[in-house]
Amino acid sequence: MFSRSAQSLVGLLVLALLFSQQSVFALLNIDGTRNQVFVFGTASYSYDSNVFAQTGGEGDSIFGASVGVEVKRRAGIIAVNGRAVLDYQKFSKFSDQTSWNPTFYLELNKTTGRTTGALTINAFRSSRADSAVNLRTQSWNFPLGLSLKYPVNDKLYVTTQTGYLKRSYVDTVGLLSNTDYSQAVDLFYVFTSKLDLVGGYRIRVGTTELGTTTDHAFSVGATNGLLPKVNGTVRFGYQVRESDVTGDTYGQFTSTAALTWNATRNFTMNAAVSRDFSTTAVGGSVDTFSAIARGIYVFTRRYSAEAGVGYGRNKFVSGTPRQDDFFSWDVGGTFRWSERFQLSGTYTSLTNWSTVSISDFTRTGYSFNVSSRF
């Protein structure tokens, strides 16, 4: 754990960012906008009524602060985006949950030439309440990604997505670190100037100390201009998970949808639907389904409000029989003086109904944030 003097230093850095005089948008502009450096900071106060996401769980107040730097380079055929953030969370009651959570991110993006794509390298520390195991977990995460696009002709193009994730849990007995590899290949057909049709296959291999699971997913769908004023992606298919831990095979329909409806100049609706397999922190397989809708209304250039609702079901298909259903909603508002000064507040509520008693809980909370970027 960092010393009290180090904690005070982060707080002072955040306050300096929030209240410093800022005359230019980027902290440094090198060669115009080709090379830019940004600095940002956030301070927050929040309350969580159930910090461990379990029946009878207790609440706590949390102070948060973060400082970071972002670098953008737009010279040559490879664009570079880099970010480093140091985030601090201090719990008032459960002081053992106080944590430092750094994030490092690098993206190399090629947007010209016949073959285009991006390589992303990420490393971050996470502290969160995990409802699947009803604990707060802390973990180091190392995701890598490579996406490529190659046009076959005027009507067809192929994309590939390669993914890797290494997650290592810390300070918690009984949780299993895991590694995921995935490879997806999709063929797109340009149906109209606004709509593309797609079909593809994805394989994903997950490994823990208990063994290995292998997922095979086939799906078809459409992307871009789905309806007037509605853009996004919709895909449906079938997925199979094979587990060498239990020797079982699980099959299910799979789906992914991400939609944006620009109803008016001021009002936007976003919706997302997903059904997939996931792996818990103790190595169990879960059939997950979630549906989320969110509305954003911009009153003026400086004032906006948003609200969201969500429903989901998690069916544990290995280990102890269990099914969780949850419903969530939230409301919030933002005041934007500029990107250099923003205030926001949010209230959230989640109810989880479970066939396992410890997982039957309600969780509410609120947060206030002030942020600055220059």
Predicted pLDDT of residue 1: 45
Predicted pLDDT of residue 174: 85
Q: Within 10 Å of residue 230's Cβ, how many Cβ atoms?
A: 14
Predicted pLDDT of residue 303: 96
The CATH number assigned to the domain holding 256 equals 2.40.160
Pairing outcome for strands 78-91 and 178-190: unpaired
For the stretch 20-65, pLDDT in tens is 444 445 666 666 667 889 999 999 999 999 999 999 999 999 999 9
Maximum Cα–Cα distance across the chain: 63
- Domain hosting 215: range is 176-319
Cβ(230)–Cβ(244) below 8 Å: no
- Burial level of 107, CB count in 10 A (0-12/13-18/19+)? middle
The yes-or-no verdict on residue 165 having pLDDT over 80 is yes
The yes-or-no verdict on residue 66 having pLDDT over 90 is yes
Q: Within 10 Å of residue 119's Cβ, how many Cβ atoms?
A: 16
Predicted pLDDT of residue 47: 98
Cα-atom radius of gyration of the chain, to the nearest Å?
22
Cβ(101)–Cβ(87) below 8 Å: yes
Q: Would 223 be classed as within a structural domain?
A: yes
Q: Would 261 be classed as within a structural domain?
A: yes
Q: Among all chains, which residue has been given the structure tokens 């944030």?
A: 369
Predicted pLDDT of residue 26: 65
Separation of alpha carbons 163 and 122, rounded Å: 12
The yes-or-no verdict on residue 357 having pLDDT over 80 is yes
Q: Would 244 be classed as within a structural domain?
A: yes
Q: Would 227 be classed as within a structural domain?
A: yes
Q: Would 260 be classed as within a structural domain?
A: yes
Predicted pLDDT of residue 32: 62
Q: Would 300 be classed as within a structural domain?
A: yes
- Residue 183 bridge partners (DSSP): 162, 203
Q: Would 145 be classed as within a structural domain?
A: no
Q: Within 10 Å of residue 60's Cβ, how many Cβ atoms?
A: 19
- Which two structure tokens, joined as six digits, stand for 192? 């109209």
For the stretch 258-272, pLDDT in tens is 999 999 999 999 999
For the stretch 185-240, pLDDT in tens is 999 999 999 999 999 999 999 999 989 999 999 999 999 999 989 999 999 999 99
Q: Would 50 be classed as within a structural domain?
A: no
| Mean pLDDT value across residues 293-308 | 97
The yes-or-no verdict on residue 278 having pLDDT over 60 is yes
The reported pTM is 0.86
**How many domains would you assign to the chain?**
1
Q: Within 10 Å of residue 85's Cβ, how many Cβ atoms?
A: 18
